[in-house]
Amino acid sequence: MGKTVSMLQLRQALEASWDSKTAYLGASRDGNPALGSCYPTSRVVQYYFPKTEIVEGKIQTNAREEKHFWNILVEDGFEYHIDLSWQQFPSGSYVMSWKIRDRKTLGDGEATIRRVSLLLERVRQFLEK
C-alpha cells in the first residue's frame, strides 16, 4: 500500500475519482458525483483502513427507499460509522436500518469488481500526485 493515508486525503481522492464508470448501473447526475458509487467507495475505504467493515443499509430519501453502503469501525465497544458518499442523498434523508456485511461472503460480480478496481486505481493515482 505504501505511505499512510489520512481519512481526509482518502475522501479528497474519492471525490476526485467518482463518475458514471464507478457508479452502479452508470448512474450520473450533474452536481452529484457520489451518486451510485457507495459500494466501491466502501471497498476502497476498507482497502486503506482494513479494520473497517462494510455496512449495508436502507436509506429513506424524500422520494423513496434506497440501498446504501458505508463503513463501520468497531473499537472498544464503540461504533464509528464512516460514510464518504452520503452526500449523494438529498437533505432530510435518514438511515432506516443497517447490518454489517460478512467480508468473506460479499459475492461481488464481475461488473462490481471492475467498478471497485477502477475506483481503487484512480484513488491510488490521485494519492501519488
3-state class of 14 per DSSP?
A: helix
Q: Quote the pTM value.
A: 0.92
Q: Where are the domains of the chain?
A: 7-128
CA distance 104 to 88: 27
Whose CA is closest to 14, among 82, 117, 90, 85? 85
Q: What is the DSSP letter of 52?
A: -
Query: Residues 24-48: pLDDT tens digits?
Result: 877 788 888 899 999 999 999 999 9
CA distance 121 to 101: 24
Instruction: Say if residues 120 and 7 touch (Cβ distance below 8 Å).
Output: no
**Taking residues 12-22, what's their average pLDDT?**
96
Query: Residues 76-129: pLDDT tens digits?
Result: 999 999 999 999 999 999 999 999 999 888 888 999 999 999 999 999 999 998
C-alpha cell at 8: 481526509
